[in-house]
Structure 1
Amino acid sequence: MPPLRRSLVPIALACLTLCGAAAIATAPAAVAADAAAGASVRERSAFNAGWRFAKGDQAGGASMNDAALRSGADVPAGADLSAARVDYDDGAWRKLDLPHDWGIEGPFRQEYPGDTGKLPWWGVGWYRKQFTLSAGDAGKRIYLDLDGAMSHATVWVNGRHVGGWPYGYASWRLDLTDVVKPGAANVVAIRLDNPKDSSRWYPGGGIYRNVWLVKTAPLHVAQYGTFVSTPSVTPAAATVDVQVTLENHGADDEVQVATDVYLLDAAGRRSGAALAHRDVSAPAKIGVGRQVQLTQALTLAQPRLWSPSSPQRYVAVTTVTSRGRVTDVVETPFGVRTIAFDAARGFLLNGQRLPIQGVCQHHDLGALGAAVNVRALERQLEILREMGVNAIRTSHNPPAPELLDLADRMGFLVLDEAFDTWREQKTPNDYHTLFDAWHEKDLRAMIRRDRNHPSIVAWSIGNEIPEQGRSEGWKLAARLAEIAHGEDRTRPVTAAYNHVASGYNGFQNAVDLFGYNYKPGEYAKFHASAPHIPLVGTETASTVSSRGEYFFPVSDDQSKGQANFQVSSYDLSAPRWAMPPDVEFRGQDDNPFVAGEFVWTGFDYLGEPTPYNSDATNLLNFTDPAQQGRMARELADLKKIAVPSRSSYFGIVDLAGFRKDRFYLYQARWRPDLPMAHLLPHWTWPERVGQVTPVHLYTSGDEAELFLNGKSLGRKRRGPRDYRLRWDDVVYQPGTLRAVSYKNGKPWAEDSVATAGAPARLTLAADRAALHADGADLAFVTVRIVDRQGRPAPRASNRIRFSLSGPGRIVATDNGDATSFESFQSPQRNAYNGMALAIVRTRAGEDGRMVLTASAEGLGSAQVVLDSQL
């Protein structure tokens, strides 16, 4: 198919997600009497509870030579498959509920290979579950849907191999109909084989996303079988196109489809009567074992448009009938909005320019590991939204469906990314081993699953792939773009390129939207060479810092500011291939045709502890042989010592979710109407009396005056390309440092930092006091160490002990220190620069009062009360 791109890529979009629980029937009047029956046909229920788990292959006598077990199984020769048998005794296995990440449980070990968090995420793991289907399920289609399993999954049901999927980030479905026994007990066994050297960061291990059991009638909507788009949107009306793919596993039949559209409220509930309705005028015939696609067009009057500032959604309720009998009802939430990437104006949402203020996010959730949790994802998005973020890049793989649901509801744009590698490797066992056999399946699966989320504005087919330097590499990019267009022509295709040459060697013509990583100096040249191609910064800055660490003297040399395996928080340090935020800001401001940026990264993540990593793939960032040689020598020296870092330094927010100074630099830029000011560094430096201690101020004001103990140190005004105010010659004296910022000559915002006394007590603050007693909800409790006057003690490292009473448990603790190798499950934790975190989880079905207590020797104890509600 021809590419979408030219100078303007117009998009009109609406969103689909298949119903998250049992589908609720809401049919038009003609079939209202049968709607309840239709709803009972389609059931989608969580399949997460009551699993058994064991690490490694389990001896028991069966091997690859057992034909009943090995049929079609993609497992190594000699692997023991006895755990796939129905009669296998798993009584000694660990009981757990999904999602589950076995790697986050540790232990940390320095000798673990690579820069993937020093945690044991690789290896073989088995999961088994017994379940019973009712006799009434006879005649239904039974499916197992897995949102993600890391990785190389193979599945048996009742001792028979039913399939699997190797890509750990993919969502996939298995048809169990022919192997399950309605009215009887059944056994599912899943073997994962997560290879070493298959990732550049911490991928996690296990069935780390949700699992669902789906039951339908033989005639039903296929998986990801509704596709909603809005090809025409005006203030008066929107045309809503609904494509429905049906599949028939019964007898030859006739089928009709009707769709109703309702408004959704902020909680995702239907509001009011149907706003639009459409029937298929005549029955369509569908043969046994066949699929048929039907299309409907509805008119939605005076549509409320989806946007980050107003994430309004609708729901399309599709009712399938055959000879007057309801066979399926599916709810499809969607949003109405238009998007365009314009080569001259950047990104347009609903016809208005909207700069993309984005961050890249890996999928792990810090101390919780890779196991998906909705509240943990929501907290991350809340913190990022406070900073001014309006977009997320799912680097570098398909995300959990829950992230996209949250983005739809909370109003975030999403760049949905498929791959980190194609045919050429970055690590020995990464996706390149799967690419030829699986890339089309994986890319189509991602787009079919995600293509109707209003949050998604573009598809990314790859990140910094080595093929970008090959003369014929663009052909592979063009093929992947063609696959993407075949599944969805409402959004552009992009890729993230880190080689300058990619903008001129054919790769720029293989995609609709060109993405440069770390190339602000190239924006003008690229635009001059290809003024018809839209451009975005797909990965920017990569500034590194450690929360609360400041090293002296302060240098503008971005390779400086490193000590004790930490990085200074003056926000001037970056790897050679990256840059401080200010440089990218200038590139964007000097070239307003750029659609925006995705900063590396929003949150710190497990693994990739640059600049203290030993990742040879960093050599890919250099094309000059001299640079490559120097980098190789540095990496060789680094490998001679133990690298005491578990996690990255790139985050604007640290691994515990605590804001670094850089948070406020971006907030000042991305929220210019918010009165704010932020001083750094802290002002507790007893060893620096009389020494020069530079002071920086991040503010949305345009000028500021600095005071030390009431004495003015000067008033400074920002220039047109200045993004921070600096007083580089301040001589440290204990006391109070205060900044008053101004905007248009009027007072705007203030900030102050004061010299703290000795640590004296603890304070606790929970992000939420009321929780759901569903066994999944979380409270994130921040501990701060303060002096007698309540001033933060910014260098305190006291040992903190946590305990909890009531219907919950402490599931993790952290402090944001990249060099800490204490177990995340430990109820004790040293504060890092005055702060620590405890994460509390509710118990399913148990409500009541929970009390979290934190104590430290010499500091007493403090408590916070949480309420778990049914």
Structure 2
Amino acid sequence: MKINFCSGWTYCRADRPEMKYHISLPHDAMLTEERTLDSRGGKNIGWYEGGDYIYEKEFQVPHLYEEQTVILEFEGVYHNAEVTLNGKQAGSFGYGYSGFSVSADGLLKGGKNLISVTARNSDQPNSRWYTGTGIYRPVYIHVLPKKHFVPESIRITTVDWKKRKIRIEAELNCLGEAEFQIMDQGECLKTECLTGEGLLSTEMEVESAQLWSCDSPKLYKLRAVFGDDIQEVSFGIRTVTVNSREGFCINGERVILRGACVHHDNGILGACAYEDAEARKVRIMKKAGYNALRSAHNPCSKAFLKACDKEGMLVMDEYVDVWYIHKTMYDYAGNVEHNYRNDLGGLVRKDFNHPSVVMYSLGNEVAETSEKKGIRLCKEMTDYLHELDRTRPVTCGVNLFFNFLYSAGFGVYSDEKAEKEPEKEVGSAFYNKLATILGDSFMKFGAALPVSDMKTRDAYEKMDIAGYNYGIWRYKKDTKKYPNRVILGTETFCADAALFWELANQYPAVIGDFVWPGITYHGEVPYRGWERKDGKQVFTGSPAWAAAGSGRVDMNGREWSEADYTKVVFGQKPIAIGVVPANLADETFDVSAWDLTCALGSWSWNGCEGKKTKVEVYAGAYAAELFLNGKSLGRRKLKRCRAVFTAVYEPGELKAVAYTKSGQILAETGLYSAGDDTKLSIETEKGTKELYFIHLRYTDSKGILKPLVQGEIQVSVEGGELLALGSARPLNPRCYLTDCTDTYYGEAMAVIRPQKEKTVQLHAKSPHGVGEIMITPGCTP
């Protein structure tokens, strides 16, 4: 029996035990902290203060639990968690991104019990990005009868996709008979019974079963019964193979990975891993044209994997950002050598039955791969993952140029340097700063140097897939130099999407691309270099900066034109238009290495009449022509699916037409200006159950967004809890836990958790009008 254990908690800062607050999990305590220049984590974590927190919950236990096996499962606590039950130590766990379990046997008593969890995050700095703090993923109690399946022992493997044959493995804690049923939406397709003890294994053919794939993510359920213990496990029938001759294949069919890197946070919700928020993130990325996600740079949540299974999204689940060389003073470096077997074991147990997980990553930009000790560790971890799971390949995100720079003594971390110069960039941050200053060509040029090849080739031999961070200029030559090497762009620039697509279609050994990043995230600020105010770059080390700002999709889920560009490149969309905001058109921009453009898909720049701006047309065609209110602004050849025009803003219709070389029309699209009237529009996203994501937008009466309209929005909620409110603006001095927000290019968002059986009402007022929305129980938004 699995019991949700997320309600009825309190939390407090460890140094303020008298100030307790009632909460439900998941919870991110870091969002409640101040953002100041005194933050030892600094811009890496968005200027938040770090702290230690105590979470407590009183709960009743039936006396019969004293005779049963009771396990507490924590999906994620950041970090250095300590768990006590009724004042006695129950367990502890250091890594903040892995789930862990503690046994309650002998610690529970019939009647009232008290659990206490301490999350320690005052050891700053310990990360290069926003971590969140506390119990940020769900908690469950598992009550097992005397006869039971060993927890997490049920494994389902596709043996032969053509015959729809699967292998089922399960471990029993004692002698007995177990029954296994293959279920499809309540219908039993096949049943088999096994008698024994310990590890049981059987193979079953389900001839009528459909295969799982990106386009048709069919899921089945295994119902396993052992006495009173009933377990249900979702699975899909699919195999993964990869080699340099055929590429990456699912069920024998080649799939090119159109990937994006995503951090674990959920925008204005911080690190809280609500099931709806995790599923929403996956849907947003699927809509943006991606078929694969990389969990950068730590294991993802169970809810994330569940959503990827359902949506047909492929996953590279990543272990860690460091091995034994620190990037910040108190990060996980040094623990990996001692803990990797336990950590990787947990990773595999979490992932094994999820068809969406197609590979594991050992780490990200670990310069250890340039030296003998690190290469040995790479082999040890790869071999261990192969022992645990023979069905998935292993990679690691290696920055080729970074490996060379590290071996030459650049950007090397030391505690002494960190104490004397805490703001000095080291490791990946050092490399990123160079790229910000010198641009993406500098990074790609460095990766193409022979010495960068020399400092990575030995580590690449130890893994199944060679992960290249920003090494696209090596792809072509390395397919010839290393004919058996499988190449994956584990981290790439948006500007290189078209080149990647050309190479991947030409060379099967180039299996995919993961752009950095898919969604804007908290911390690691600022990477979107075009944020300006009054003609000057805003970023001066101010704690008002909260987010990196460099995603193809912003923190609240809006796509930038870069997302349209990649969709066009990957054949997901025929044509699109992006416009550099007309109010900024006369600015001089330093677009960062991670940004292709600052364009938006809008032609509503009220007040900018007569201003020149840049218009970008994206199409998989020979040439494109741009029309403004019926008048041609010229025809241009498309270079790698992109052409740039100059236009003087005037309201009306902006239309783009794509042509073949012979002049035939392939596709066309248009943008339309908003009217003079302005209203506050409120809209609730569909497809969520536990949370409501409500968009607050300034539009005209027809619903066309007005990006330049500003004005604070005040929100009140009845029948639910306002979990977060805010815009996606990277420069945001506000807290996301207030009832007032500004907008970012005309938009903000509220997230509400409804109270049981109550109608949710949101009321909003602004200088441009008021609005409200009502959501009744049982009605899917």
Note whether the superposition's TM-score is higher than 0.5.
yes
How is 1:166-177 mapped onto 2 (pairs within 5 angstroms)?
A: 166-177=94-105
- Say if 1:677 and 1:741, in contact at 8 Å, map to a contact too: no
Q: Find out whether 1:296 has 2:202 as its counterpart.
A: yes
In 2, are the aligned partners of 1:678 and 1:697 still within 8 Å (CA)? yes
- Decide whether aligned partners of structure 1 residues 698 and 166 sit closer, same or farther in structure 2, where only a CA change above 3 A counts: same
* Residue among 736, 745, 748 paired with 2:664: 745
| 8 Å Cα contact 1:116/1:203 also seen in 2 | no
2: distance between equivalents of 1:789 and 1:276?
54
Deviations 1:654-685 (A, max 9, x none): 1121111112112222344x454223235466
d(CA) in 1 for partners of 2:558, 2:528: 21
The residue that corresponds to 1:525 in the other structure is 477
Please state if 1:597 is matched with 2:503. Answer: no
1:611 aligned to 2:527?
yes
| Alpha-carbon distance between aligned partners in 1 of 2:697 and 2:90, rounded to the nearest angstrom | 52
The code of the aligned residue for 1:780 comes to F
Q: What TM-score, normalized to structure 1? A: 0.76
Q: Do the aligned partners of residues 422 and 662 (structure 1) sit closer, same or farther apart at CA in structure 2, a change above 3 Å counting?
A: same
Matched, 1:507 2:459: yes
In the alignment, structure 1 residue 364 sits paired with structure 2 residue 278: no
Match of residue 853 from structure 1: 763
Change (3 A) 1:55 1:746: same
How far the C-alpha of 1:139 sits from its partner, in A, is 1.8
Shift of 1:725: 2.4
Q: 2:3 aligns with which of 45, 51, 55?
A: 45
Is residue 230 of structure 2 the alignment partner of residue 329 of structure 1?
A: yes
Q: Kindly indicate whether the alpha-carbon contact (under 8 Å) linking 1:771 and 1:842 is maintained by their aligned counterparts in 2.
A: no
- 1:338·1:349 contact (CA, 8 Å) conserved in 2? yes
Q: Are the aligned partners of 2:526 and 2:539 in contact in 1 as well (CA < 8 Å)?
A: no
Does structure 2 conserve the Cα–Cα contact (< 8 Å) formed by 1:121 and 1:204?
no
* Distance in 2, Cα, partners of 1:139 & 1:689: 77
Instruction: Give, as a single letter, the amino acid of the residue that structure 1 aligns with 2:737.
Output: Q
Would you say the 8 A contact 1:540–1:599 is kept in 2?
yes
Cα 1:810–1:93 change in 2 (3 A) is closer
Give matches, 1:444-843, under 5 Å: 444-499=345-400, 500=447, 501=452, 504-541=456-493, 543=494, 581-585=497-501, 587-588=503-504, 591-611=507-527, 641-642=541-542, 644-672=544-572, 674-681=573-580, 682-683=602-603, 692-699=612-619, 703-718=623-638, 722-727=640-645, 729-733=646-650, 735-741=652-658, 745-746=664-665, 748-754=667-673, 760-768=678-686, 772=689, 777-787=690-700, 791-805=704-718, 807-843=719-755
- Cα deviation code 1:526-551 (max 9, x no counterpart): 2222211221111111x5xxxxxxxx
Whether 1:339 and 2:240 are equivalent positions in the alignment is yes
Alignment partner, residue 101 of structure 1? 28
**Alignment size in residue pairs:** 696
Q: 1:240 aligns with which of 158, 166, 169?
A: 166
1:205-225 Cα offsets, whole Å, 9 max, x none, are 001111111111233211211
Give the whole-Å Cα distance in 2 for the aligned partners of 1:802 and 1:217: 48
Equivalent pair of 1:418/1:460 in contact (CA under 8 Å): yes
Summarize the alignment of residues 130-529 of structure 1 with structure 2, pairs less than 5 Å apart: 130-181=58-109, 183-194=110-121, 195-234=123-162, 237-248=163-174, 254-263=175-184, 265=185, 270=186, 272-273=187-188, 275-280=189-194, 283-284=196-197, 292-320=198-226, 326-499=227-400, 500=447, 501=452, 504-529=456-481
Q: Which residue of 2 aligns with 1:74?
A: none
Q: How large is the RMSD of aligned CA atoms in angstroms?
A: 2.6
- Alpha-carbon shift at residue 128 of structure 1 (Å): 1.4
Residues 346 and 535, structure 1, Cα contact 8 Å, conserved in 2: no
Q: Which amino acid aligns with 1:129?
A: K
Contact 1:124/1:192, CA 8 A, preserved across alignment: yes
Q: Is the 8 A contact 2:86 2:107 kept in 1?
A: yes
SS in structure 2 of the partner of residue 381 of structure 1: helix
Residue 397 of structure 1: how far off its partner (Å): 0.6
Compute the TM-score of the two structures, normalised by the length of structure 2: 0.84
Write the distance in 1 (CA, Å) between the matches of 2:491 and 2:556: 23
Q: Partners in 2 of 1:449 and 1:528 — Cα distance?
A: 37
Q: Indicate how the Cα distance of structure 1 residues 457 and 791 shifts in structure 2: closer, same or farther if over 3 A, else same.
A: closer
Is the CA contact 2:485–2:509 (under 8 Å) kept in the aligned structure 1? no
1:393/1:414 contact within 8 Å kept: yes
Query: Equivalents in 1 of 2:541, 2:10: separation in Å?
Result: 39
Q: Provide the rounded CA distance (Å) in 1 between the counterparts of 2:224 and 2:700.
A: 61
Letter in 2 for 1:262: M
Distance 1:638 1:808 in 2: 37
Give, in angstroms, the shift of residue 612 of structure 1: 7.6
Distance 1:527 1:362, change over 3 A: same
Shift of 1:93: 2.2
Describe the SS at the equivalent of 2:130.
coil
Native 8 Å contact 1:800 1:829 kept in 2: yes
- Which string of whole-angstrom CA distances, capped at 9 and with x for unpartnered residues, describes residues 497-542 of structure 1? 111436753111110111111111011222222211221111111x
Question: Does the 8 Å CA contact 1:684/1:794 hold for their aligned counterparts?
Answer: yes
CA deviation map 1:414-439 (0-9, x unaligned)? 10111111011111111114223322
Residue aligned with 1:668, SS = helix
**Deviation per residue, 1:558-608 (Å, 9 max, x gap):** xxxxxxxxxxxxxxxxxxxxx554454455456453111111111100001
**Structure of greater Rg:** 1
* Identical positions, percent: 28
CA distance in structure 2 between the partners assigned to 1:337 and 1:815 by the alignment: 40
**Distance apart, 1:157 and its partner CA:** 1.0
1:70-85 to structure 2, matched below 5 A, reads: none
SS of residue in 1 equivalent to 2:510: coil
Letter in 2 for 1:536: L
Q: CA deviation at 1:486?
A: 1.4
| Residue identity in the other structure for 1:132 | Q
Aligned equivalents of 2:131, 2:677: Cα separation in 1: 38
User: 1:821, 1:424 → 2: CA distance?
Assistant: 34
Q: What residue ranges of structure 2 are gaps of 5+ in the alignment?
A: 401-446, 530-536, 581-601
Q: Is the 8 Å Cα contact of residues 717 and 725 (structure 1) preserved in structure 2?
A: yes
The structure showing larger relative contact order (alpha-carbon pairs under 8 Å, at least 6 residues apart) is 1
Q: Distance in 1 between matches of 2:76 and 2:56?
A: 16
For 2:757, the aligned partner's letter is E
> What do the CA deviations read for 1:682-732 (whole angstroms, capped 9, x no partner)?
54668876665332112356543211232112234535xx221222x4455
TM-fit CA distance, 1:753: 4.1
For the residue of structure 2 that corresponds to 1:278, the secondary structure is strand
Over 3 Å counting, the alpha-carbon distance change for 1:832 and 1:415 in structure 2 is: same
User: What is the rounded CA distance, in whole Å, between the counterparts of 1:231 and 1:506 in structure 2?
Assistant: 32
Following superposition, the deviation at residue 141 of structure 1 comes to 0.6
Partner of 1:803, secondary structure, is strand
User: Aligned partner of 1:258: which letter?
Assistant: E
Deviation at 1:152, TM superposition (A): 0.5
| TM-aligned CA deviation for residue 642 of structure 1 | 3.0
How far apart are the structure 2 equivalents of 1:692 and 1:58? Answer: 56
Structure 1: which amino acid aligns with 2:205? T
Instruction: State whether residues 112 and 119 of structure 1, in contact with CA within 8 Å, keep that contact through their aligned partners in structure 2.
Output: yes
1 CA distance for matches of 2:539 and 2:567?
37
Q: Distance in 2 between matches of 1:690 and 1:866?
A: 43
Residue identity in the other structure for 2:224: T
Question: Aligned to 2:153, what secondary structure does the other structure show?
Answer: strand
